[in-house]
């Protein structure tokens, strides 16, 4: 079975400081992992995805994530937060029959 655990329900950072959103996964085989962002009253937007290629994945808006098999982690980072980054972020693992399993979400607050 596949699952993801997002370790922080809320993260608050100041504008211009680094962002770290943590995600651990569980999978019986080599997983495909994703990060999505959901702004208030908006649809889900794909930030980046890992599908067994390079372990460091670069996404949109300056986000990147590193797949670490030994730690079963796929943490999302950004060097410098922007006010527009304030949103809900979901870590997702793809399982059998291409079903997506979502983490519980991390709400990112960016302080001016």
Partner 1 sequence: GAVVSQHPSWVICKSGTSVKIECRSLDFQATTMFWYRQFPKQSLMLMATSNEGSKATYEQGVEKDKFLINHASLTLSTLTVTSAHPEDSSFYICSARAGVHEQYFGPGTRLTVT
Q: What does the binding site for partner 1 look like in residue numbers (CB under 8 A)?
A: 32, 36, 42-44, 49, 51, 90, 94, 97-105
Q: Which CB sits closer to partner 1, 97 or 112?
A: 97
Tokens 């908006």 sit on residue: 42
Question: Using a CB cutoff of 8 Å and minimum separation of 24, what contacts does 56-64 make?
Answer: 59/35, 61/85, 63/35
CB of 16 to partner 1, least distance (A): 27
- CB contact set of 44 (below 8 Å; sequence gap of 6+): 36, 37, 38, 90
Tokens 């059998």 sit on residue: 96
Q: Which CB sits closer to partner 1, 7 or 44?
A: 44
CB of 79 to partner 1, least distance (A): 25
CB of 76 to partner 1, least distance (A): 16
CB of 82 to partner 1, least distance (A): 22
């Amino acid at each position: 079975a596949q699952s993801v655990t997002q370790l922080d329900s809320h993260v608050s950072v100041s504008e211009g400081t680094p962002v770290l959103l943590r995600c651990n996964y569980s999978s019986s085989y080599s997983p495909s992992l994703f990060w999505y962002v959901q702004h208030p009253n908006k649809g889900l937007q794909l930030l980046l995805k890992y599908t067994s290629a390079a372990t460091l994945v670069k996404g949109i808006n300056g986000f990147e994530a590193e797949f670490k098999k030994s730690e079963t982690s796929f943490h999302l980072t950004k060097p410098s937060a922007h006010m527009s980054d304030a949103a809900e972020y979901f870590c997702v693992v793809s399982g059998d029959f291409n079903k997506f399993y979502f983490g519980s979400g991390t709400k990112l607050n960016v302080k001016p």
